[in-house]
């Protein structure tokens, strides 16, 4: 804890400094307001004792800059003669307390007890909030790669423009739902975020979930039911796996987006909805449009400022940033906040293809922390698919004295990866950093593998 004492009276300064040091404070002193302000900027004191009358200014002039340091400094004013008007004036300017000289240190101790307890409580609350924010960080937007910086900018823009539809595209596990939550929470809306998976319900059930139904509108409709568009009033409705939505529901969704109106199943009254539309898909929507499986007019209606999440394998150094984040976050929840990754593990994580993207990385880190116990995370704590890369690298460097043509090096490396993955083409392609179709084309060109 730090304290600042600003007073020209040498005896008061010495006694107060001695008292504060006995309470555990680091104390700095000044005899002018200007020097006190400079010291405060460097030391960021928790409490400041300021004489009412200083050589260059009054205490009232010094209080505002001290209380605006951003560190919750509590200012105590000391006066040779307590004047009620001046005391009230000082308190209005932000002073915590107004003491008469000579100081009654028992009284000072009582006031400091309250101040210290309050500041401890504030620090604990602030720490708790920081931890909550840290845990709620949307991990797909952690990173420094060009692709993820673009995503971060779009998230910020879409959070500021609350009525713009949001379309998030990317591979499974890349964090589409978490990005949607990040936009919703950053937009400052008062309503909830409600989610629906378009692939999990039949057409009739999906319609009832979205728009609700009137009592008696069908056999099992025994009571009136509100739909998600009503429940999400003032907030967001998030459609996961949008590409799986039936065409008939797509037409009704388009009407809601165009008019902000809908009717419950079996209803005759238009209901207004201000819920914001967000959707995610891992499907190629333009291709679905060409195939007649997704409405072209709906696609253009929602494709205003789309976010395309890059796969984890495309993000380079972000892999280690995310891995380190998960090690710290999950390690802390397990009581092992000291856990860190070492170089061999980092090399394997960077070499792996991450077909499961961010979701898979989180699971790999959690597994490694569990297996490592209280010891360091080592390669043997990683899944077999990732550990296989270590074997591949060792085999690839065994004949260091033999120089081979590039084609043969490529051919042997592909063979080794195929062997390590049990001839799994998709996994091999991920490890090699290429698409499955590219891998198959390479295999056709390599005569021994054809």
Could you tell me if residue 35 is inside a domain? yes
CA 154 to centroid of chain Cα atoms: 15
Could you tell me if residue 135 is inside a domain? no
CA distance readout (Å), 339 to 131, 136, 335, 370: 17, 20, 10, 11
Single residue among 130, 160, 178 that ends a domain in this structure = 130
Beta strands 166-169 and 276-281: pairing type?
A: parallel
Provide the pLDDT for residue 5: 93
Neighbouring C-beta atoms of residue 3, cutoff 10 Å: 26
Residue 224, SS3 per DSSP: coil
In which residue ranges of the chain is pLDDT below 70?
70-71, 123-140, 389-409, 419-422, 430, 446-450
* Residues 368, 232 share a domain: no
Provide the pLDDT for residue 129: 52
Domain count within the chain: 3
* Residues 101, 35 share a domain: yes
Provide the pLDDT for residue 125: 64
Q: Are 297 and 186 in contact (CB under 8 A)?
A: no
CA 268 to centroid of chain Cα atoms: 43
Q: Are 133 and 171 in contact (CB under 8 A)?
A: no
* Residues 203, 114 share a domain: no
The CATH number of whichever domain residue 248 belongs to comes to 3.40.50.300
CA angle at residue 432 from 428 to 434, to 5 degrees? 95
Provide the pLDDT for residue 142: 82
Reported as a single tens digit per residue, the pLDDT across 79-124 is 887 777 778 888 877 888 888 888 999 999 998 988 888 877 776 6
> Residue for token digits 């967001």?
236
Could you tell me if residue 14 is inside a domain? yes
The CATH number of whichever domain residue 56 belongs to comes to 3.40.50.2300
Single residue among 263, 288, 308 that ends a domain in this structure = 308
Domain housing 14: 2-130
Could you tell me if residue 68 is inside a domain? yes
Single residue among 104, 130, 156 that ends a domain in this structure = 130
> Residue for token digits 């804890």?
1
Provide the pLDDT for residue 231: 92
| Residues contacting 91, CB < 8 A, separation 6+ | 98
Which of 47, 26, 25, 43 has its CA nearest to residue 35?
Answer: 43
> Residue for token digits 């529901």?
249
* Residues 437, 348 share a domain: yes
* Residues 11, 109 share a domain: yes
Residue 279: φ, ψ to 5°: -150, 155
* Residue 380 burial (C-beta neighbours within 10 Å; 0-12, 13-18, 19+): exposed
Distance CA 322, CA 7 (A): 51
Could you tell me if residue 167 is inside a domain? yes
Evaluated on CA atoms 103, 105, 106, 111, the torsion sign reads positive
| Residues contacting 156, CB < 8 A, separation 6+ | 186
* Residues 86, 195 share a domain: no
pTM of the complete model: 0.58
Provide the pLDDT for residue 259: 94
Provide the pLDDT for residue 398: 45
Could you tell me if residue 344 is inside a domain? yes
Distance CA 272, CA 350 (A): 50
Provide the pLDDT for residue 137: 46
* Residues 84, 206 share a domain: no
* Residues 236, 299 share a domain: yes
Q: Are 349 and 379 in contact (CB under 8 A)?
A: no
* Residues 196, 74 share a domain: no
Reported as a single tens digit per residue, the pLDDT across 108-166 is 999 898 888 887 777 666 555 544 544 444 556 788 888 899 999 999 999 999 999 99
* Residues 435, 397 share a domain: yes
Which of 340, 341, 343, 350 has its CA nearest to residue 318?
Answer: 350
* Residues 178, 300 share a domain: yes
The CATH number of whichever domain residue 406 belongs to comes to 1.10.8.60
Could you tell me if residue 325 is inside a domain? yes
Q: Are 303 and 262 in contact (CB under 8 A)?
A: no
* Residues 348, 272 share a domain: no
Q: Are 118 and 111 in contact (CB under 8 A)?
A: no
């Amino acid at each position: 804890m730090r304290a600042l004492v600003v007073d020209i009276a040498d005896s008061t300064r010495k006694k107060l400094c001695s008292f504060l040091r006995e309470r555990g404070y680091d104390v700095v002193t000044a005899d002018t307001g200007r020097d006190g302000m400079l010291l405060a900027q460097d030391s960021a004191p928790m409490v400041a004792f300021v004489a009412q009358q200083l050589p260059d200014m009054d205490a009232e002039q010094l209080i505002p800059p001290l209380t605006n340091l951003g560190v919750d400094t509590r200012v105590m004013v000391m006066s040779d003669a307590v004047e009620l008007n001046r005391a009230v004036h000082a308190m209005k300017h932000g002073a915590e307390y107004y003491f008469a000289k000579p100081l009654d240190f028992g009284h000072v101790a009582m006031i400091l007890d309250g101040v210290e307890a309050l500041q401890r409580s504030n620090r604990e609350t602030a720490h708790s909030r920081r931890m909550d924010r840290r845990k709620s960080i949307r991990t797909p937007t952690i990173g420094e790669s060009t692709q993820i910086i673009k995503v971060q900018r779009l998230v910020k823009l879409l959070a500021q423009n609350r009525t713009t539809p949001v379309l998030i595209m990317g591979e499974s596990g890349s964090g589409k739902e978490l990005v949607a939550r990040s936009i919703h929470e950053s937009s400052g809306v008062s309503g909830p975020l409600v989610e629906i998976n378009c692939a999990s319900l039949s057409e009739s059930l999906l319609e009832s979930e979205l728009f609700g139904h009137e009592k008696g509108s069908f056999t099992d409709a025994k009571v009136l039911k509100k739909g998600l568009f009503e429940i999400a009033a003032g907030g967001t409705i998030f459609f996961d796996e949008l590409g799986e939505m039936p065409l008939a529901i797509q037409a009704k969704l388009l009407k809601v987006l165009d008019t902000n109106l809908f009717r419950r199943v079996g209803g005759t009254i238009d209901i207004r909805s201000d819920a914001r539309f967000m959707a995610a898909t891992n499907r190629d929507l333009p291709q679905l449009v060409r195939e007649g499986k997704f409405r072209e007019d709906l696609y253009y209606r929602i494709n205003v400022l789309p976010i395309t999440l890059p796969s984890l394998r495309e993000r380079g150094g972000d892999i280690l940033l995310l891995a380190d984040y998960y090690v710290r976050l999950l390690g802390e929840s397990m009581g092992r906040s000291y856990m860190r990754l070492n170089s061999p593990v980092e090399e394997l994580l960077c070499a792996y293809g991450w077909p499961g993207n961010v979701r898979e990385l989180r699971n790999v880190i959690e597994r490694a922390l569990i297996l490592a116990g209280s010891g360091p995370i080592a390669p043997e704590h990683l899944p077999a698919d990732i550990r296989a890369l270590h074997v591949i690298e060792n085999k690839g460097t065994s004949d260091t004295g033999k120089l081979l043509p590039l084609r043969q090096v490529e051919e042997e490396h592909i063979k080794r990866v195929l062997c390590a993955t049990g001839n799994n083409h998709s996994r091999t392609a991920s490890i090699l950093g290429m698409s499955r179709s590219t891998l198959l084309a390479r295999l056709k060109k390599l005569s021994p593998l054809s």
